[in-house]
Amino acid sequence: MGLQRVNQFLAWASLSLLVSAQCPLYQNYANKRHEPLSSGRYNLSYARPVPDCRTFHSPELEDTLKRLKDVITDPDLYRLFENTWPSTLDTTIAWRGYAAPPSLPEEVEGAEGGEGVTKRDAEEKEELSFIITGDIEAMWLRDSANQLQAYTSILKPSTDFSSLASVFRGAINLQARYILEAPFCNAFQAPVESNITRKSSENSDRISPSFDFMKVFSCQWELDSVASFLQLSDDYVTATGDYEFFSKWKWKEAVKKVLETAESMMIDSYNEAGEWQHTPYTYCAPYGGTPINDCNGSPHRNIGLIRSFHRPSDDACTYQFLIPSNMMFSHALNTTAKIMSRIEGPDNANLTNWMRTLSTGIRTAIHRHARVADRTYGTIFAYEIDGYGSANIMDDPNIPSLLSAPFIGYLDSDDPVYQNTRRKILSKDNPYFSWGPVITGVGSPHTLPGRAWPMASIMRILTSDDDEEITETLRQLVGSTDGLGLMHESVSSHSESQWSRQW
């Protein structure tokens, strides 16, 4: 036991949270304040688990934390950073290991053995990382990609299993497996190799096509889920330059599945003869769903965009051409087409071309159909449209959002239509804007109106170069954690103690 570990252990034991070295559930731990509190005016809790209870150790992360202590001089702000930045590595890497050899039945039914799987050594093993969303033991495609994105600044090439690069590769491999298993689904159970106990996820939702409830955790068709797989791939290759990895396992097959699935969801609600056509995916839920028209949702015209039944919050869309998700998908297809073009294989030229063509088609359709006139703000982007002229004007805080369009790489933040949209989103003219003395920002039907999401305030900072806007938004973030020193999902604009999810 190192000295730091002993001190931590004493602090831990004195809180009588546990009597042994067993690790408490982080959601219980993070619900209470822990010493030493930060020395600023907000007395923020130290919320990192003791080192033995952390789920991954990164020397680069610890070095960066130490280095930034002298840079971020506000003690409360530093505490917030110190608690939140390591959080994914500290608390959500539920399991890492290797895929079972292909002779096992689980593996054989995947796309193993497709052409292009040639570039690995005989003894090389497929890494897997099961990264849970936090308080739920399941891996969301979007969440795990976004959780890892926080570490691209310290991601370096490495073949070592103990490296952050291995965590990324394992997540890409597992996401590819999930997509090949159930391409319409958004969250998945632990891989069989982990021996983590899985329970059936069956509930009263009616979803087609059917899927295995022991493998899938939830099956909402969210376009940004498959876009996240591409984004994660791009994040990895941009930081490491390791193109070769993508030819080793099932990446290419998964991309092909993404293309087929996405294109199938461009379907027009009527064929040429006027007959109504079902979408390949349908969803009915007893609550918050879109059960109209036999679980298809309202009619949509094929205008070159891809339908998404759900938003990144997992809420049902009002109209299914969800613009931020189409923006993200278009951009991610374009960046990862470069990976496809650099790996060898008989149909790679076709796939590269397909990715670029779809990317361009979506961009053209957004330009044509998703820009609408607003009386006060000029031309703005709609949040959702249906191809018949209906538009839902709002923004939702979860990413991808309209506010995040420059962050996801779709456009430059000085784009005039983006700037008009941003002004409207960050005003009382956005139906989900939430304002008050505690925190002012974008809220969501997911947590009911009147609560701002810190995530959207962070996005506000990341898309601004106005110092005043940045400092004021930061001040609100630091001052609205209820002393816990963590970023909640949402916080009431009127009461710091009313929040959802402690981290």
Ligand X SMILES: *[C@@H]1O[C@H](CO)[C@@H](O)[C@H](O)[C@H]1NC(C)=O
Residues in contact with ligand X by CB under 6 A are 42-43, 97, 194-195, 330, 334, 350, 353-354, 359-360, 363
Question: CB of 320: closest distance to ligand X in angstroms?
Answer: 21
What's the burial of 103, exposed, middle or buried (CB within 10 Å: 0-12/13-18/19+)?
A: exposed
Could you tell me which of 83, 281, 102 has the C-alpha nearest to residue 183? 281
Question: CB of 492: closest distance to ligand X in angstroms?
Answer: 17
Residue nearer to ligand X on the CB measure, 143 or 193: 193
Residue nearer to ligand X on the CB measure, 260 or 466: 260
d(Cα 87, Cα 502) in Å, to the nearest integer?
12
Question: CB of 354: closest distance to ligand X in angstroms?
Answer: 6
Question: CB of 98: closest distance to ligand X in angstroms?
Answer: 9
Could you tell me which of 228, 238, 235, 247 has the C-alpha nearest to residue 341? 247
Looking at residue 338, its amino acid is K
Question: CB of 87: closest distance to ligand X in angstroms?
Answer: 22
Residue nearer to ligand X on the CB measure, 42 or 151: 42
d(Cα 442, Cα 394) in Å, to the nearest integer?
10
Tokens of 438: 């505690």
Residue nearer to ligand X on the CB measure, 169 or 331: 331
Question: CB of 346: closest distance to ligand X in angstroms?
Answer: 11
Question: CB of 253: closest distance to ligand X in angstroms?
Answer: 13
Tokens of 50: 């003791």
* Strand 206-208 to 321-322 pairing: unpaired
Residue nearer to ligand X on the CB measure, 55 or 359: 359
DSSP labels for 437-493? SS--EE--TTS-TTEE-HHHHHHHHHT---HHHHHHHHHHHHTTSTTS-S--SEEES
Question: CB of 42: closest distance to ligand X in angstroms?
Answer: 5
Residue nearer to ligand X on the CB measure, 317 or 327: 327
Question: CB of 454: closest distance to ligand X in angstroms?
Answer: 18
Establish whether the linkage from the previous residue to 49 is cis, with ω within 30° of 0. Answer: no
Residue nearer to ligand X on the CB measure, 65 or 259: 259
Question: CB of 205: closest distance to ligand X in angstroms?
Answer: 31
Residue nearer to ligand X on the CB measure, 42 or 188: 42
Residue nearer to ligand X on the CB measure, 265 or 426: 265
Question: CB of 357: closest distance to ligand X in angstroms?
Answer: 7
* Strand 206-208 to 282-284 pairing: antiparallel
Residue nearer to ligand X on the CB measure, 194 or 313: 194
Cβ–Cβ under 8 Å, residues 237 and 246: yes
Tokens of 201: 């996820």
Residue nearer to ligand X on the CB measure, 1 or 104: 104
DSSP labels for 383-431? SEE-SSS-EE----SSSS-STTTTTTTSS-TT-HHHHHHHHHHTSTTST
Place of tokens 């009911």: 448
Give 313's DSSP letter.
T
- Residue 380, strand partner residues: 372
Helix (H, G, I), strand (E, B) or coil at 181: helix
Cβ–Cβ under 8 Å, residues 91 and 53: no
Cβ–Cβ under 8 Å, residues 239 and 101: no
d(Cα 491, Cα 440) in Å, to the nearest integer?
9
